[in-house]
Structure 1
Amino acid sequence: MQPISIRYVLAVARYGSIAEAASRLNVAGSAISRQIAKIEEQLGVELFERRARGMVPSAAGEILVAHGRRTELDASSAIAEIRELRGPHKGHIRVAAFDGFALEPLPRMMSDFRGSYPQVTFDLYLGNSFEIARQVKDGEADIGVTFNHPSPRGVDVVHVSRRLVSIVVPKDHALAKRRGVTLKDISRYPLALPDKSRTQRQMIETAFARHGLRVEPAMSSNSVAAMRQFAKSAGAVVFSSSRIAEEADAEGLKVVPIRDDGVAETVIHVITMEKRTLPATVQAFLEIVLGRLRSGD
């Protein structure tokens, strides 16, 4: 349902070289080269910049690639809607999210959705916000949920949530009985922090520095689940912006607000591909996600 020449352009953009695109598509590299050269001749521009590490779309190429990806996804949406005529809410939904959100509310949302529409299937990708935004932009994910990350060109921000940062500690921790804590209070206890690649780590370190405090984590990780387990076993403090009290209580943990003004709020974006019309099933699940976020879940 898409011209073969556009398929070849998309493949080269995705895999970074004609040779790799040819291998993935099981066609001759010369055939891909001819099709790309034909389009370039018709348009009077080069679609790719040839670099030492491979081929990268030019400014003109980016426009064509973005159009091609939307066309590809629109065709998939049309097919999905036609199939839904045989029965409502069948299909596959691809979600990419940062781990704090993916580990906690998302699986529950998916389970509830499948309770109503058991024929729907999901892919859930956990990663950093940069990679999540890239997947949505490139059409590899239908819905993205990013954390403290400016959304790039090529995506639409469909929802923004701002949340205050709290700490999560075991129920028997000395801070668990407090109605609020300061960074000075927190600094007296072992900390489990995100690793230095995460934006939340930078935010935490900056907040401590403003109060003349040094951050010496007992443990750092790119996994929220690992930090949570360490908190339970070592009595450590974990920073959080997405946990709710009921979930923490079920795991033997307690959420305690931070009272210092120096701790910035976090920002969660829900994103989709720019100008893309989502399949009905994906749109229905997106509304579930947005409803939960608007209610403060």
Structure 2
Amino acid sequence: MPASDLNLRHLRAILAIHRHGTISAAAHEVNLTQSAITQGLARVEHQIGMPLFERSSGGMRPTPAAALFVPRIAAALARIASPRVTAAQMRALLALARAGSYAGGAHAIGVSEASLHRAVRDLSVALGRDLVERRGRGVTLTRRGGELARACALASAELNAGLEELAALAGRETGRIAIGAMPLCRARLLPAAIARFHARYPHYTIVVSEGSHAELVGPLRDGELDLLIGALRDPAPGADLEQRPLFEDRPVVIGRADHPLAGTDPSLDMLARYPWSVAAPGAPLRDHWEAMFAGAGLAVPRVPVECGSVIAIRQLMMSSDFLTLLSPDQVAVELEAGWLTILCSAPPAIVRTIGVTTRAGWRLTPLQGAFLSELGLETLTS
């Protein structure tokens, strides 16, 4: 069951019951009748398939399920920060934000375009904010609309995590973890961790999205990704994100096996005479590559091919005299097959830290924690 099926008013009532211990006190806080709260609680318990409270003459006692789910509810409602937002409106705003148009958003969630438009408009009226503005023939979210969409996405992520924890409590190890994979981790680190994790938890789904840090950090902040794996940034990308190191990687200079410099232990001056293919400016590896020459007092060579795709770089090098700076792990198969060769090591100062980036305050589910332990983050706990 997705989090969008849950009624936010019912969740607010559950939070009030947990806070006060009685339905009557909860009814007073959320301005609902006791019968409405009782019916709402019963509906949520039916949806999750387990009781959240034990009824007794002394009041409502939380069950183990409530101990797991209530903190997730509290975190989600704190993100939304308004009792005027409904689940349907939240779903509509997220669909519009992700699709970039009413037509695309409506298609994505299976409603009419008019219904989606009405839900977003009603949300805007309820909050007294302009959430959407027209630009030419299209629409875009206002600053406040974008902030609310991000808050709703993170709230949805909290609730979905809570539903996964409830499933695990019931003996069903189901759920998903969404990973942003930057170039280096795709070669060995991530596939090996996924294989080990899948052997232990075969019913858990892992979704991997490839891209650069610039392409993936937005979806991480929006709650679409749970974590990024790859080269850490220095300085850190913001107070809302946390970086945890895994290991240090030392890049090497690589060319085709029969490159003119193969077996010569070339100097930096000799390397500068050949064409290079490296990542675009701003990428940590590009910064290291430039520092490699600048640190030796040499002019930084021109880069005729800026590329972050290892597959493309590999093919380019195998058919030309191009050079690149990569981790040996990224082309391990090609090195073992004898198609490419390591021409020389980079200077000792050229090193990058590979690790995991998450949202600050991210509360892991037990199975997400188990996956991170497969990566080597044994000290990261929920």
Provide TM-score, normalisation by structure 1: 0.76
Whole-Å separation in 2 of the counterparts to 1:101 and 1:123: 15
1:82/1:109 CA distance change after superposition, 3 Å: same
3-state SS of 1:243 partner: helix
SS of match in other structure, 2:347: coil
Structure 2 residue 375 is matched with structure 1 residue 285: no
Shift of 1:290: 4.6
The reply to whether residue 158 of structure 1 matches residue 158 of structure 2 is no
What is the match of residue 108 of structure 1? 192
Alignment of 1:90-239 (within 5 A): 90-147=174-231, 156-160=241-245, 163-169=249-255, 174-175=261-262, 178=265, 182-188=267-273, 190-194=274-278, 196=280, 199=283, 200-201=285-286, 204=289, 208=293, 211-212=298-299, 214-215=301-302, 221-231=307-317, 236-239=322-325
Asked if 1:32 corresponds to 2:32, the answer is no
CA contact (8 A) 1:101 1:242 kept: no
Deviation at 1:204, TM superposition (A): 3.4
What 5-or-longer segments of structure 2 have no aligned partner? 1-5, 8-86
Query: In the alignment, what sits opposite 1:77?
Result: 161
Q: How far has the Cα of 1:239 moved from its partner?
A: 0.5
Distance 1:52 1:151 in 2: 37
| Matched AA of 2:241 | D
Q: Which one is further off, 162-171 or 105-114?
A: 162-171
Preserved CA contact (<8 Å) 1:192 1:227: no
Gaps of 5+ in 1: 293-297
Aligned length: 286
8 Å contact from structure 2 (residues 153, 222) kept in 1: yes
Judge conservation of contact 2:248–2:354 (CA < 8 Å) in 1: yes
Pairwise CA RMSD? 3.7
* Higher deviation after alignment, 56-65 or 168-177: 168-177
Match of 2:329 in 1: 243
Aligned partners of 1:226, 1:18: CA distance in 2, in Å?
37
Look up the SS of the partner of 1:50 in the other structure.
strand
Corresponding residue number in structure 2 for 1:8: 92
Residue identity in the other structure for 1:239: L
Rounded Cα–Cα distance in structure 1 between residues aligned with 2:185 and 2:357: 14
CA-CA distance at 1:244 after TM superposition:
8.2
CA distance in 2, matches of 1:157, 1:53: 39
* Cα distance between partner residues in 2 of 1:245 and 1:31: 50
| Aligned AA (1:258) | A
Matched residue SS, 1:27: coil
Question: Secondary structure of 2:229's partner?
Answer: strand
**Are the structure 2 counterparts of residues 271 and 216 from structure 1 closer, same or farther at C-alpha, using a change threshold of 3 Å?**
closer
